[in-house]
Every structure is written in C-alpha cells, then in structure tokens.
C-alpha cells in the first residue's frame, strides 16, 4: 500500500501528471489562484514526480537552476508516508550532481519542521505568498 517511486519528469512529457498534483494541492486544497501557480519556469526546471504502484501521480517537486526548490506537493492521502521526504532527498541529490552549492525554498509555516529535519535553516521574516504565510529557508550543500 505504501509502495511508490520517485523519478525525474519533464514538463513536456509528464505535464498532465505534474499539473494534476499541483492543481489538486495548491489550487483546490489551498486555494492558490491558478494564475499564480503556473509560471515560465516550469518549462526549463528539473521536475520530480512520485508515482504509486499503479502509476498514479502522488507527489511533485521542482528545482530551478539557481537552486530554488519549489512546488513541492503530495496528495493528502499520501502525506505522512515518506513521499515528501523522498522527493526532497532526490532534489538535494540532483542539486549536488549539478554542482549547486546552496538550495533555498519558501516554506509554508506548517512545513518548517519538515525542512528543519533535513538541515534547512530559516533566513528571514515571515511573508505572505499567494495568501499563505511562508518563511525563506536555505541549506548549504557539501
């Protein structure tokens, strides 16, 4: 029941699956306006896609070339099963392969503890993004 895989995805080939997860989590669940969810970075960044054993999309994340991690989302029924951790670990591995020295992200306040467990540190004041409180976090990669 907890079986899943995480793989590199492309916006061109896997866009429907990537969009489905992000639309479900961000637009429907968190009420982020659609015009704020989709941007010009999706075509050119590294995407990860988590799939269940039946090849259904269950989680996504992306990494920009400057080391910015974003659009991490896991479907509600899969939260707490390690999918988010697997996505983050794979993003960090991919960043190291690309010789990125430091990664950053804008964490929703409820997710700060999740990122702290992976070594991230808060580096700024709370701010609003898409109507949701966030804080900037960084991690230096060795």
User: Residue 10 corresponds to which tokens in the numbers above?
Assistant: 């492309």
Closest CA to 137 of 99, 108, 100: 108
Put simply, whether the predicted model's pTM sits higher than 0.75 gets the answer yes
Asked if 139 and 119 touch (Cβ cutoff 8 Å), the reply is yes
**Domains of the chain in sequence order:** 4-140 (3.40.630.30)
Dihedral, CA atoms, 118, 87, 20, 80, nearest 10 degrees? -60
Tell me the helix, strand and coil percentages in the chain, rounded to 5.
35, 35, 30
User: Residue 62 corresponds to which tokens in the numbers above?
Assistant: 């992306």
Q: pLDDT 10s digit of each residue in the chain, 142 long?
A: 579 999 999 999 999 999 999 999 999 999 999 999 999 999 999 999 999 999 999 999 999 999 999 999 999 999 999 999 999 999 999 999 999 999 999 999 999 999 999 999 999 899 999 999 999 999 999 7
Asked if 95 and 63 touch (Cβ cutoff 8 Å), the reply is yes
What's the rounded Cα separation, in Å, for the pair 133 and 142? 30
């Amino acid at each position: 029941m907890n079986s899943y895989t995480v793989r590199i995805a492309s916006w061109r080939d896997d866009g429907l699956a990537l969009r489905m997860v992000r639309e479900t989590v961000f637009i429907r669940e968190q009420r982020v306006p659609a015009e704020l969810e989709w941007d010009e970075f999706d075509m050119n960044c590294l995407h990860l896609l988590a799939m269940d054993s039946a090849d259904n999309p269950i989680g996504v994340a992306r990494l920009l070339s400057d080391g910015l991690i974003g659009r991490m989302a896991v479907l509600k029924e899969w939260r707490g099963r390690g999918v988010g951790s697997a996505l983050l670990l794979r993003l960090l591995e991919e960043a190291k392969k690309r010789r990125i020295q430091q990664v950053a992200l804008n964490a929703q306040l409820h997710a700060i503890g999740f990122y702290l467990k992976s070594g991230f540190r808060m580096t700024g004041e709370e701010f609003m993004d898409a109507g949701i409180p966030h804080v900037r976090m960084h991690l230096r990669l060795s």
